[in-house]
Amino acid sequence: MNMKIRETYRPDSLIVYMASMLSVVFLLLSLICTPVGYASGSATTTNDALTPLRPFPQHMTYTEGTIKPNHVTQSQMNAEVALLYDEYKKKYIKKNSYDQSQYYVWYNDGGWNGDAITVSEAHGYGMMITAIMAGHDPEAKTIFDGMYRFFRAHPSALHPDLMAWQQADRDGAIVDVNGTDSAIDGDMDIAYALLLADKQWGSSGDINYKQEATKVINAIMESEVHPEHFHLQLGDWVPTGEGEPSFKPASRPSDFMLQHLKEFHKATGDERWQKVIDTTYRIINNVHEQYSPDTGLLPDFVYRDPADGKYKPVTEFEWPTESGHFLESEFDGAYNYNSCRTPWRIASDFLLTGDTSAFDQLTTMNNFISEKHSSPSEIWSGYSLDGTTKLSEWDGGLEFTAPFMVSAMIHESNQDWLNSLWDYHTEEANSTALEYRYYYGNSIRLLSMIVVSGNWWSPTGIAATDISGHPAEQEITLALAEGVVNGYPNGTFKPEEGVSRAEFAVMLANSMKLEGAGAQLSYEDAGSIAPWASPSVAQIVQAGITDGLFDQQFKPAQRLTRAEAAVLLAASKKLTLGSETGVTGFTDDNAIPEWAKPSIIALGEEGVPPFKPQDNPFEPEREITRAEAVTLVRSLAKP
How far is Cα 119 from Cα 164, in angstroms, rounded to an integer?
8
The values of phi and psi at residue 203, to 5°, are: -120, 20
- For the chain, the residue count is 639
Own/partner contacts of 319-327, CB < 8 Å, gap of 24 or more, are 319/245, 320/244, 320/245, 321/245, 326/245, 326/250, 326/301, 327/3, 327/4, 327/5, 327/247, 327/250, 327/301
Q: Could you please report the per-residue DSSP string of 494-536? A: -TTSBPBHHHHHHHHHHHHT--S--PPP--TTGGGS-TTTHHH
Residue 121 is a catalytic residue: yes
Ordered DSSP codes for 169-219: EETTEEEE-S-S---HHHHHHHHHHHHHHHHHH-SSSSS-HHHHHHHHHHH
561, β-bridge pairs: 623
Q: How far apart are CA 41 and CA 481, in angstroms?
A: 11
Residue 304 β-bridge partners? 311
Q: Which of 12, 145, 185, 628 is catalytic?
A: 185
Per-residue three-class SS string for 299-356: CCCEEECCCCCCEEEHHHCCCCCCCCCCCCCCCCCCECCCHHHHHHHHHHHHHHHCCC
Give the Å distances, CA to CA, from 387 to 90, 382, 408. 37, 9, 18
Closest by Cα among 162, 107, 136, 119 to 443: 107
10 Å Cβ neighbour count for 142? 14
CA distance 349 to 356: 9
Q: In this structure, are residues 198 and 42 in contact, taking their beta carbons and an 8 Å threshold?
A: yes
Q: Exactly one of 12, 121, 181, 503 is catalytic; which is it?
A: 121
> Rounded CA gap, 497 and 401, in Å?
40
Question: Which amino acid is located at 626 in the chain?
Answer: R
Q: What is the dihedral of CA 231, 252, 107, 393, to 10 degrees?
A: 170
- Active-site residue, 161 included: no
Q: Do residues 523 and 552 make contact, with C-beta atoms less than 8 angstroms apart?
A: yes
What's the rounded Cα separation, in Å, for the pair 195 and 261?
A: 12
Nearby residues of 277 by Cβ (< 8 Å), 6 or more positions away = 258, 261, 262, 265
β-partners of residue 225 are: 232
- What is the Cα–Cα distance from 368 to 422, expressed in whole angstroms? 18
Residue 422 in 3-state DSSP?
Answer: helix
Q: What is the maximum span of the chain, computed from C-alpha positions, in angstroms?
A: 88
Q: Which residues are part of the catalytic machinery? A: 121, 185
